[in-house]
Amino acid sequence: MLDKKRILDDPQGVAKALGRRNKDFTAEIAKLEQLDTRRRELLAEVEAMKAAQNSASKQIPQMKKNGEDTTAIMQEMKAISEKIPALDSEVKSVDDELSNILLFLPNIPSDSIPDGTESEHNIEIRSFGEPRSIENPKPHWELGEALGILDPQTAAKVTGARFHFYKGLGARLERAVMCFFLDTHTKRGYTEIFPPFLANRASMTGTGQLPKFAEDMFHIENTEYYLIPTAEVPVTNMHRDDILDVQQLPISYCAYSACFRAEAGSAGRDTRGLIRQHQFNKVELVKFCDPENSYEELEKLTLDAEYVLQQLGLPHRTVVLCSGDLGNSSAKTYDIEVWMPSYGKYVEISSCSNFEDYQARRANIKFRHGSDKARLVHTLNGSGVAVGRTVATILEVYQNPDGSVTVPEVLRPYMGTDVIR
């Protein structure tokens, strides 16, 4: 979340900065100012009453000792005692409203990203490989079903729409991609984590999924647990309420997890195949950084995500998102998009983001340099990368005229074959 003090010190400046997201947050910030003023008034009133109680607690014994009548002052203290709980309750109510506004306000976009209203205003910064020319390319779902390696029909019967059974070499391909990603990232300095696939409400709030995106989450009924939408949630919250030593930074983790998303509001979008599923596999990259070099680390993280795609020989491009296409918690994001022959366009396969201290403030993750005061870290993450989308891209990019699919060379040791027939 944003720093309340920063907002109150420069409400117009913060409103202008948030306005780059093409939404007006002036009303929310004005409401926050009003609530903060009311909170300070209430606290001053409570403090004055408690001071009066303290004074009276010393005065009453002396009055009694002097034989004076204490009826009036006792009645006054009784009235104060009855009023303080009501004021305390109002303070709590105001605090809850303040917290709610702060939890819903998005992050301030970095000055280094372009202004824009939608994805068409994103800027390509580099690309790798040339899209392969394939005459009448088949979509991956047709290839997968013809090869007997993808079975959405059985998954629909067992679970529902937007789920898949992988079979035979399809299951092995999914596993091979996952293992290749983890092996590659750990060789490049990441510590592998295998996290829980459930997270509690505090963890989901810490990384920004709650409360704003509750409808996109799968909630376990009668519990505070949610199915994770990405390993970002449990891995980032590993250090919730921690104070790290600056010598530990940057901390770099990679983690495989299954991911679960309700995809609320996405009806009709990529409903066939592996691109938009309710359950999918992903390898996530997460970093905790000193604010002084977090943007340097973002560049490294993005290059690490690109590297695995390059090793697979998958044509892709990297774009920097404009202010209007930026995720709620991010200050700057690079999207990596792979070429999908059947789509005839690039499709997102990874988002690499610097959240600056937005998540760290929510999750209370700090670091300390020696005896200095503890400060908030910067958190980063990126898909390293989405496994199902990679499988879909491999099937399409490496398809052959006879319906077979060539296995990328780096995956052959995992697959035990060079072709899927």
Task: List per-residue pLDDT tens for the chain, 421 residues long.
Answer: 999 999 999 999 999 999 999 999 999 999 999 999 999 999 999 999 888 888 888 888 888 888 888 888 888 888 888 899 999 999 999 999 999 999 999 999 999 999 999 999 999 999 999 998 899 999 999 999 999 999 999 999 999 999 999 999 999 999 999 999 999 999 999 999 999 999 999 999 999 999 999 999 999 999 999 999 999 999 999 999 999 999 999 999 999 999 999 976 555 556 789 999 999 999 999 999 999 999 999 999 999 999 999 999 999 999 999 999 999 999 999 999 999 999 999 999 999 999 999 999 999 999 999 889 999 999 999 999 999 999 999 999 999 999 999 999 999 999 999 999 9
Q: What amino acid is encoded at 57 in this protein?
A: S
Q: Contact, 319 vs 374, CB < 8 A?
A: no
How many CA atoms within 13 Å lie on the side-chain side of 6?
14
Q: What pLDDT, on a 0 to 100 scale, did the predictor assign at position 355?
A: 98
Active site residues: 261, 276, 348, 351, 389
**How far, in Å, CA of 381 to CA of 209, rounded?**
14
Q: What pLDDT, on a 0 to 100 scale, did the predictor assign at position 292?
A: 97
**Strand pairing partners for 198?**
227
Q: At what angle do helices 26-65 and 11-19 cross, to 10 degrees?
A: 150
Q: Contact, 305 vs 252, CB < 8 A?
A: no
Q: What pLDDT, on a 0 to 100 scale, did the predictor assign at position 82?
A: 87
pTM of the full structure? 0.93
Q: Contact, 245 vs 290, CB < 8 A?
A: no
Residue 258 has φ and ψ, to the nearest 5°, of -75, 145
Number of residues that make up the chain: 421
Q: What pLDDT, on a 0 to 100 scale, did the predictor assign at position 267?
A: 56
Residues 6+ apart with CB under 8 A from 262: 215, 216, 217, 218, 278
Q: Which stretches within 165-293 are classed as H helix?
A: 169-187, 201-206, 232-236
